[in-house]
Amino acid sequence: MTTHAAPAIAVDAGTRFLRVARVRTDGTPELVEELPGTVPGEGLPTPAGVRGDRGAALRAAYTAYREHCGTPGQVVLVVPPQERTVPPGDDRMPRPRLLDTPHAVLALLRHAGTRMAPRLLVCDLGASAAEVTECAVVGGSVTVARVGRYAPGDDGYGAAFDEAVLAGAGLPDDDPEVLRELVQAMGENARRVEVPLDRMAARPDRADRFADTVVFAVAGREITAGMVHRALDGFTGGVDRALAGLPGVRTAGPDPYRTQVIAVGSQARFGVLLRHLTGRLGRPTLLPDGTDPALAAVFGAALVAGGHVDPADRYPHAVAVRVHRTVVGRPRDGELLISPPGTLEPGGATVFAEAGGERVRVRTGSADGAGGWAGGTAGPVDGAGGWADGTAGSADRTGRRADGTARPADGTGGREVRIVVRAAGSGAVAPAGVVTVPPSGDGARFHVGVRLAVDGTARLVLQPVGRSRPGVHPAEDGTVAQPPPEEFPLGVLPADPQPDSPSDPPPDSEGAPT
């Protein structure tokens, strides 16, 4: 992959810290620490007034970077899984590309050459929540299958730890300078903190003796191992609650042959929490080169921003439309392939159905209900041997669907089109949605496609094909004005397709039944 000529950055706008990262000339990701007010190893403290507001936090981080380092050419924003709404940004900011935490973390691991298992659990233990994401690696793409989340109200998850430690020392938890000093002291004294905590866990009968050990100081106040231990009490329970949101995931003991576990986030620095994960899920996968788990996501996103690694966030399965064609006057069921596996990207271009290297042209049927979709594949449509849709809404001229049920007589002449996905590898077919498309007039033709919006939801796209000069294909006629496409929302495509009918035949190369 090539590197962007203009500077490229990644931003992780967290509850406690705004982390901005880039890639050095040697290809190593690093935190941008020259921004005024940065806490070494952490980033910029998130202003109290913008906590919980991703758009405002992004603007604050971007403004700080631009004022000190100039305008970047590319911005990748780390977001939680299934929260892919683009926040409003600064007018001078390039439109950010969204990359959820699991994809960012796994990009970091793939860049380092870490071997990927078919199933992974990414455990993000951050300031606002404990989040466990089950991911599947299919054909070089990573797809989010399920998410379990525990977010204990306004106090957050990891943020509650900071507040508990400071409260135990009689210090305010809303003073940025105190918070900065706490975080820095925790980082500088990590080993000194872990030793008494390990001894307390190994010898519960002597825990009180180790609890009085002073591990560091903040604002002149001593912080003991006991204060840290009490503040950690809520962490393990939070992990358990997040795992409870993933029914079917084995949590009774280590299962290293089934699931690969990656622990990230600021709270993944604590050995107590990692040992709890080890007991429930198996030993976590080591991050490359001793990467701070709090920086894993933003480092992976920085590698994506700089073009050093593919984000692998494409949809891994094929998308098709159920159709039938008339053969010797008789309809036969099949599928018309719209997008092959691994071609749809969030925010990317529409992928249109093709045959022989050219877009398939279809029609949606006439208003009188006669016929369904029909079309040729490359040249002019003559109606002979073309496609007619046998989706859940129009199959023949009898007023019945292809499955034998009655077609609604709503008088609109609309056609119900059934979209399906076919799993890469297994070939399992699962429904992706049913949309009603309007009828087309005589001679009207469309290209049919699918696109993924930035938020990850899918759209069925019908692009009208304008009238062309005789003997000239519309795609080659520069004089034809292309009308705007019409889009039909499909929602989120299935991440883990399961068969809806074991007898479904796979399509041939043009979408016809075998």
Tell me if 32 sits within 8 A of 69, measured CB to CB: yes
| Digitized pLDDT (tens) for each residue of the chain, 514 residues in all | 554 456 899 999 888 889 999 999 999 999 999 999 888 888 998 887 887 787 888 888 988 999 999 889 889 999 888 676 666 556 677 788 889 999 999 999 999 999 888 888 999 988 788 899 988 888 788 888 888 888 876 556 777 788 888 888 899 877 878 887 887 888 788 888 888 888 888 888 888 888 889 999 999 999 998 898 888 877 788 888 888 888 777 655 555 455 789 999 988 888 878 888 878 887 788 999 889 999 999 999 999 999 999 999 888 899 998 876 666 777 777 788 999 998 998 888 899 999 888 898 887 654 444 333 544 433 333 333 334 333 333 333 333 333 333 344 344 456 788 899 988 877 888 888 888 887 766 667 888 999 988 777 899 999 888 654 445 555 555 555 667 888 999 888 888 786 654 434 444 433 332 2
Tell me the CB-side half-sphere exposure of residue 210, using CA atoms within 13 A. 20
CA distances from 393 to 69, 367, 370, 409, 513 (A): 57, 14, 12, 11, 19
pLDDT the model gives residue 394: 34
pLDDT the model gives residue 514: 28
The whole-angstrom separation of Cα 113 and Cα 297 is 16
Whether 97 and 179 map to the same domain: the answer is: no
Whether 214 and 297 map to the same domain: the answer is: no
Residue 70: inside a domain, yes or no? yes
Whether 185 and 200 map to the same domain: the answer is: yes
Residue 496: inside a domain, yes or no? no
Q: Is residue 461 helix, strand or coil? A: strand
Tell me if 78 sits within 8 A of 18, measured CB to CB: no
pLDDT the model gives residue 9: 95
Tell me if 114 sits within 8 A of 101, measured CB to CB: no
Whether 351 and 378 map to the same domain: the answer is: yes
The whole domain housing 469 covers 318-491
Residue 422: inside a domain, yes or no? yes
Whether 222 and 90 map to the same domain: the answer is: no
Tell me if 263 sits within 8 A of 274, measured CB to CB: yes
pLDDT the model gives residue 224: 93
Residues 269, 274, 277, 282: is their CA dihedral positive or negative? positive
Whether 26 and 151 map to the same domain: the answer is: no
Residue 93: inside a domain, yes or no? yes
Whether 242 and 177 map to the same domain: the answer is: yes
Whether 271 and 142 map to the same domain: the answer is: yes
pLDDT the model gives residue 233: 74
Residue 51: inside a domain, yes or no? yes
| Beta bridge pairs of residue 138 | 141
The total number of structural domains in the chain stands at: 3
CA 339 to chain centre: 19
pLDDT the model gives residue 223: 92
Residue 508: inside a domain, yes or no? no
The whole-angstrom separation of Cα 71 and Cα 129 is 32
pLDDT the model gives residue 241: 87
Tell me the CB-side half-sphere exposure of residue 314, using CA atoms within 13 A. 22
pLDDT the model gives residue 154: 59
The whole-angstrom separation of Cα 351 and Cα 340 is 9
Torsion of CA 426, 431, 433, 434, to 10 degrees: 130
- Its pTM stands at 0.76
Whether 421 and 470 map to the same domain: the answer is: yes
The whole-angstrom separation of Cα 7 and Cα 221 is 42
Residue 313: inside a domain, yes or no? no
Give the end of a domain, one of 304, 335, 356.
304
Whether 166 and 43 map to the same domain: the answer is: no
Whether 272 and 344 map to the same domain: the answer is: no
Nearest Cα residue to 88 out of 77, 72, 103: 77
**Residue 194 maps to which CATH number?**
3.30.420.40
Residue 399: inside a domain, yes or no? yes
Whether 337 and 472 map to the same domain: the answer is: yes
